[in-house]
Structure 1
Amino acid sequence: MPIGAPRLNIRCEGIILSDMPYAWSEPPSSDAVVELRLWPHNSLPAKGFAAFILATFTLICIPLLGLLGTVLLWGLLPFAMIALGGMWYALRRNEADRKILEVLTLGRDHMHLVRHNPQGPEQEWQCNPYWAKLIMHQKDGPVPHYVTLSGAGREVEIGAFLSEDERKSLYAELSDRMRRITPP
């Protein structure tokens, strides 16, 4: 998101939806548990997928029109369909790999992070928020502005799939929420 751009916030059933790929639940009181849900971007919805596959099919078939009625068409057609099938498979595989959901539950006496992976087991981490540390690694992480939570003898990443600006925003919002719930 460009610097200075307005943020869009929409309230929906107790969850604040924004233009960021994460959402906070809105607690009924300041002592209530708040939940943060994070997910990767989905830049290709179902209609876009169908349109892209149709456009690819059309562009692959245009050169084959000149070969209609020849034996050469039947020699090239399987390769064209293999290319189309490969594109379909790659896009579906990418969609399946992005089905990641991270849920951070934040209360006065507990902090619990669960990462739902597309394949494989869930990963969990929990800690007392008083002892938890939110750290932004400016340059030492695998990506710039890498955000981690540490506590209970472990350090875990949060929002690693977000863009750099989104990780900065997440760090600011999460540190503010942690500061509000942690007793002085």
Structure 2
Amino acid sequence: MTDRNPEAPPEVLFSAVLKPYRSLSPRGFALLLMFVAATCFAGGLLFWSQGYWPITAFFGLDILAVQFAFRMNYRSGRAMEIVEITPDTLTVRRIAPDGKQQDFAFNPYWARFEVDRHPEWGVTRMALTSHGRQLPIGTFLGPDDRDSFAKAFQDALARARAMPDHG
């Protein structure tokens, strides 16, 4: 006899939402873009006053290039991974910057969590491996975030393995 209710959702032992870190806030981006625009405008005026007016167009292109680069950076920052461990399932949901989702499911008893560490830089790579499949996780995290995630995830995976009924 089991004491679990079949209609009840499984107990979540661990849940983490992994997102890329972006150090520049949208307000900071606006200030940076205004600074770049003011600098380019001043440079453009200088060249215009010297009679080199065609060069001013290149200053405008600089502003557009900086804006495009940061917009693409912010777009890639919308990617995320949702990692969840229940007694029976380890799931990773990847959400791409365009909103497309991929779900990966593992048995927590059989899944191996591989962590590569460098003596100077800390955790450099994390991956889940099971039955010949390998899934890198947290590739966009910084070293400190990878280290704290790896510790918490390993502890939760050990708790899930210690529970009975692994399917």
Q: Same fold (TM over 0.5)?
A: yes
TM-fit CA distance, 1:44: 1.2
Structure 2 vs 1, CA of residues 136 and 67 (structure 1 numbering), >3 Å: closer, same or farther? Answer: closer
Alpha-carbon separation, structure 2, partners of 1:117 and 1:71:
49
1:95-174 paired onto structure 2 within 5 Å: 95-119=74-98, 121-138=100-117, 145-174=124-153
Confirm or deny that 1:41 pairs with 2:5. Answer: no
TM-score, normalised to structure 2, is: 0.79
Instruction: Please identify the structure whose Cα radius of gyration is greater.
Output: 2
Task: Identify unmatched segments of 5+ residues in structure 2.
Answer: 1-9
Q: Secondary structure at the match of 1:103?
A: strand
Other-structure match for 1:58: 38
TM-score, normalised to structure 1, is: 0.72
Other-structure match for 1:22: none
Alpha-carbon separation, structure 2, partners of 1:114 and 1:171:
17
Given that residues 79 and 96 in structure 2 are in contact (C-alpha distance below 8 angstroms), is that contact kept between their aligned partners in structure 1? yes
Indicate the percent of aligned positions where both proteins have the same amino acid: 25
Structure 2 vs 1, CA of residues 163 and 66 (structure 1 numbering), >3 Å: closer, same or farther? Answer: closer
Given that residues 45 and 56 in structure 2 are in contact (C-alpha distance below 8 angstroms), is that contact kept between their aligned partners in structure 1? no
TM-fit CA distance, 1:137: 2.1
What is the number of residues matched between the two proteins? 150
Other-structure match for 2:3: none
Structure 2 vs 1, CA of residues 144 and 173 (structure 1 numbering), >3 Å: closer, same or farther? Answer: closer
Given that residues 36 and 103 in structure 1 are in contact (C-alpha distance below 8 angstroms), is that contact kept between their aligned partners in structure 2? yes
Other-structure match for 1:87: 66
TM-fit CA distance, 1:171: 1.0
Alpha-carbon separation, structure 1, partners of 2:47 and 2:62:
18
Whose RCO is larger (CA < 8 A, sep 6+)? 2
TM-fit CA distance, 1:156: 0.6
Aligned-CA RMSD value: 2.3
Q: 1:163 corresponds to which letter in structure 2? A: G
Alpha-carbon separation, structure 1, partners of 2:67 and 2:53:
21
Alpha-carbon separation, structure 2, partners of 1:128 and 1:35:
16
Alpha-carbon separation, structure 1, partners of 2:128 and 2:44:
56
Alpha-carbon separation, structure 1, partners of 2:25 and 2:124:
28
Confirm or deny that 1:77 pairs with 2:61. Answer: no
Other-structure match for 1:11: none
Alpha-carbon separation, structure 1, partners of 2:128 and 2:156:
14
Alpha-carbon separation, structure 1, partners of 2:135 and 2:46:
58
